[in-house]
Structure formats: C-alpha cells, structure tokens
Amino acid sequence: MTKNSEKSKIIVGISGGVDSSVAAMLLKEKGYDIEALFMKNWNDQTEDGECLWEDDVEDAMQVCDKLNIPLNTVDLSRDYWEKVFKNFLTEYKSGRTPNPDVLCNKEIKFKAFLEYAESLGAEKIATGHYACKNVEGDSIQLLKSIDDNKDQSYFLCCLSQNQLDKTLFPIGDLCKDKVRKLAKNAGLITHDKKDSTGICFIGEQPFRNFLSRFIKPERGLIKTIDGKSIGEHEGIFFYTLGQRQGLGIGGIKNAADAPWYVVRKNINENELIVAQDHDHPLLHNKNLTVLDINWISEKMPSLPFNCKAKCRYRQSDQKCIIEKNENNQFIVKFESSQRAVTPGQFIVFYDKNICLGGGIINSVY
C-alpha cells in the first residue's frame, strides 16, 4: 500500500468524458483511495425520446470498470433547476445573455456536489477542469492551465477559498492532446470522445426551439440605427450583441450588400437594432459596470486596481483598471475598445496566470 492510499477518500466528478476519465486514472495511479461520482443535473429528453445523460453515464460506468473504482450517482437536477436554470430564464427574459456554466460551477459542481461527496466520506473532490492551484501564504490561488486553448479558469471565477481547498485538478498541468494520448494508451473508451460544446442541458437541439419551451417568444421589429424598419425578429431574447447569423434580413432597398449585425437591443420597445458594420461604434465600449464581483482570495484589492480581464471565454486578456463610481458601483475601464460586451456575461480578472475572480457585466457606457 502506498502512502497516498492511506489518505482519506477522494471522489472524482466523472462526466463520461475524456478529461474526467483521465483525472480519475491519474489519481488512481498515484495510489489515492478513489471513488467516482456521476451527477445528473438535468431531467429532459430529446425530440426522439432519448435522455441527454444516458450515454454519458454508460461511458462513465465503462471507465470506472476499466479503472476498477466504485461509481456512485447523484441526482442534482432539482438543485440545478432552482439555483442555475431559474436564473438562466430570468436573465433571458430581461434581454440579457447569461452564462450558466459559471453559476453551475459555483452552486452545483463545487457546492451541492461537494457536499454530497463529503456525505460519502470524501475529504476532497477532483474534477477534469483545465486549471491549476497554488498556495501563496495563507491564500489559495486559482491558476490558468498550461494549455491556453483549453484553460477553464474563466468558468471557475466564482469559487471560494474553501471550494478550492477541497478540490484537485489532476489534468491542469497537461495539454489536451496529452490527455487523449494517456486515455488511449490506458484503453479508456472515452479517449476519442468528442468534447461537449454549448450549454449542457440543451444538447444537440436548436437553441431557439429549446428556449421557446420556457419563454413565449414575442415578435418585434428589426430596425436600422436611423429608425428604419427592415424586418421582424422572432423574440428579442433569441439574439445577442454582435450576432450576424439568423437575422433573416437581406436585399434591403438602398442598403449595401453586406451582412447585418445586432448592435443594440431596445428591450422596452421590443426592437432589435442592426447595422452593416462589423466594427460599428455601437458595438465598441471601453467602460462597463460590474455586479457581484467574487474575489477568489476573499480580499478585495485596493482601488483603483490595474489588472487584465476578459469579457468572454475565448478572448485574450485585456488591460484594464477597476474603480468605483459615485454610486459605489464597480466600473471597469479598458485600455482599448472592446467589441460586443454583453450584459449578463461574466468579466473575469487576471494577474498574469492568476485568476483573481469575476463578476456579472451589468451595463456598458
């Protein structure tokens, strides 16, 4: 028996994908006392009557059989509905564009899941997220993964010190191709499984079809920036700033033969405002306000504070300064103009490879 196997139990969140499979495998190889836990967050079916999670749990079972580790399951769909999905619907109804993955990590994967794992005797949990940790003094830092293309620190920006302390990220110091290679060499069924994309509870069905089941669409006018009506939209919450596809407009008299972009959403009038310039001034802002900032260190820096930030997952880090205005709101001022900053999304702050935390974009100006 190795030294690690004498430690208290670690429960790995197993999703049926390659990343969590390799996370479990690596911990098992190091001699830890490992169990796996599959969580079901959504009770729904596709139009063909298939459950969205059935294939994943089958893959998880085969991985755990291969690794010879116990597999537990837990139904967290009620928690997900109350703490994530209701917020998702409320934000869309208000015309904003939420990011449920960040809230899911905060409330489900690293809270409800963690609490259930502890009830099974776990000292810590482990996940297949591409992120790293570092202890600096009395604080635990959340670090970017070494794989810039897969780094998921953006989605972990709302974690607390306690949540980080009780979590391991076994693949954070690996690149994706290495993870797949390890899985293939170990004979894991998930080694070539396609990565999941988009919002987990929607699956492969069209986004508009899904959202229409919960929010009644109200058609409205599509207008140019000078107030000319050029079409109708199918429901203002279907669209996001900077969107080009799916507008259903073209061949407008006296207009250039160029694509149209959503540049503003007039919620009160149920109007979608569009323009034919990818870099239209209405799509660019240097300043925004932020709500509910979570500082991972649990210590707010002295303001004004210089750092870098990103307003969407795939964006490169941008220089900015964080201040407070006369209304005691957090404001972020970027050094350069940012395109299509979207209220409801998260802005996440960085100091080099350290994720400092993040908050919800409330408004741009």
Residue 280's SS3 state is: coil
Q: What is the DSSP string of 95-108?
A: T----HHHHHIIII
- With CA atoms as reference, report the closest residue to 233 among 202, 257, 269: 269
Answer whether 118's CB lies under 8 Å from 128's CB: no
The predicted pLDDT at position 10 comes to 98
Among 64, 104, 132, 355, the one annotated catalytic: 104
The predicted pLDDT at position 52 comes to 60
Cα–Cα distance, 142 to 312 (Å, whole number): 18
Q: What is the pLDDT along the chain (365 residues), one digit of tens a residue?
A: 344 545 679 999 999 999 999 999 999 999 999 999 999 988 765 455 455 678 889 999 999 999 999 999 999 999 999 999 999 999 999 989 999 999 999 999 999 999 999 999 999 999 999 999 999 999 999 999 999 999 999 999 999 999 999 999 999 999 999 999 999 999 999 999 988 776 777 766 788 888 999 999 999 999 999 999 999 999 999 999 999 988 988 777 767 778 899 999 999 999 999 999 899 999 999 999 999 999 999 999 999 999 999 999 999 999 999 999 888 899 999 999 999 999 999 999 999 999 999 999 999 98
Inter-CA distances, 221 with 234, 246, 250, 251, Å: 9, 15, 15, 17
Among 51, 158, 200, 307, the one annotated catalytic: 200
Q: Which domains does the chain have, with CATH numbers?
A: 4-185 (3.40.50.620), 217-278 (2.30.30.280), 284-364 (2.40.30.10)
For residue range 259-317, what is the model confidence (pLDDT) as tens digits? 899 999 999 999 999 999 899 999 999 999 999 999 999 999 999 999 999 999 999 99
For residue range 170-195, what is the model confidence (pLDDT) as tens digits? 999 999 999 999 999 999 999 999 88
Q: Token digits for 302?
A: 């002295």
Encode 171-199: b = buried (16+ Cβ within 10 Å), e = exposed. Answer: bbebbbeebbebbeebebbbbebeeeeee
Query: 71 pairs with which residues across the strands?
Result: 36
Q: Token digits for 205?
A: 């069905």
Cα–Cα distance, 98 to 89 (Å, whole number): 9
Cα–Cα distance, 300 to 307 (Å, whole number): 13
Judge whether 51 counts as a catalytic residue: no
Residue 56's SS3 state is: helix
Q: Taken in order 179, 181, 182, 186, is the CA torsion positive or negative?
A: positive
Q: Token digits for 277?
A: 């310039």
pTM of the model: 0.93
- With CA atoms as reference, report the closest residue to 15 among 48, 58, 47, 50: 58
Judge whether 104 counts as a catalytic residue: yes
